[in-house]
Each structure stands twice: as C-alpha cells, then as structure tokens.
Amino acid sequence: MEHIMASFFIFILAVFVGFEVISKVPPILHTPLMSGSNAISGITIIGALICAGPKNFELTTALGLVAVIFAMINVVGGFAVTDRMLCMFKRKKGEKSS
C-alpha cells in the first residue's frame, strides 16, 4: 500500500510536469512533439519485456513477445521519424542532408 501511494504521488507530479513542459511547445513543432511523445509512450516496452521474460514458454510469455514487437515498432519508428522531421527543420538553404 505504501508503494502504491508513493507511485500515485509520482504520478500526480508527472501530470504537472507534463502539462508544464508541453504547453510551451510552439505550433511549428507540434507534429514532431506528437511523434516524439508517441515514441515515449512506447515505454510500455518495459512491461512487455517483463512479461516476455520467463524462460518457460506459455501463453503469457507469447503475449509478452507480441507486445515487445509492437512496442518496439512504436519506439524505434517514433524516434526515427521524429529525427527525420527535425532534420528538415535544421536544413538551411542549398544545404542537403540525408
């Protein structure tokens, strides 16, 4: 119970931090913000790894492994595409980047 309250406390603080940090992002960066935060929501990968962890092969591990695949698409794709977009913003006239 103590741990639950501590986690709840952390949760409430995170709500405030989230609103505070994100409400200042200018509209020009809304799409990268979204795909970047989208990648962060792939943090559920941690849960997926824990579920997929045990060596004995059961339905629960299989579900975990499927979750790992989808969470990884979310994480890797999200960060990669955000970087791709932000690269375009950085690009100056006449200068090419990959």
Partner 1 sequence: MKFFLIESCYIISASLFIFGLKLMNRVKMARLGDFLAAIGMLIAIVITLILPNVINYKWIFIAVLIGSIIGIVWARVVPMTAMPQMVGMFNGFGGLASALVSCSEYLRAGESMTTFTLTIVMLGTFVGAVTFTGSTLAYGKLEGFVEQRPVVYPLQKTINLLLSLASLGCGVVVILNPNEIISYWVVMALSSILGVLLVLPIGGADMPVVISLLNSYSGIAGMLTGFVLMNDGLIVAGTLVGASGIILTKIMCKAMNRSLANVMFGTFGKIDEAQAKGQSKEYVGVKSCTAEEVAIILENATQVIIVPGYGLAASHAQHAIGELAKILEDRGTKVKYAIHPVAGRMPGHMNILLAEASVPYDRLYEMDVINPEFEQTDVALVIGANDVTNPSARNQPGSPIYGMPILNVDKAKSIVVIKRSLSPGFAGIKNPLFENEKTVMFFDDGRAAVEQITKEVKNL
**Cα distances (angstroms) measured from residue 64 to each of 31, 61, 97:** 30, 5, 38
Minimum CB–partner distance for residue 9 and partner 1 (Å): 10
- Does residue 3 bind partner 1 (CB under 8 A)? yes
Q: How many residues bind partner 1 (CB under 8 A)?
A: 81
Minimum CB–partner distance for residue 5 and partner 1 (Å): 11
- Does residue 2 bind partner 1 (CB under 8 A)? no
Minimum CB–partner distance for residue 27 and partner 1 (Å): 6
Instruction: Please report, as residue ranges, which positions from 41 to 80 form the binding site for partner 1 (by CB under 8 A).
Output: 41-55, 58-61, 63-80
Separation between Cα atoms, residue 23 and residue 56, nearest integer Å: 46
Alpha carbon 72 to its chain's center: 10
Separation between Cα atoms, residue 37 and residue 75, nearest integer Å: 10
Separation between Cα atoms, residue 66 and residue 41, nearest integer Å: 17
Instruction: Please report, as residue ranges, which positions from 6 to 35 form the binding site for partner 1 (by CB under 8 A).
Output: 6-7, 10-11, 14-15, 17-19, 21-35
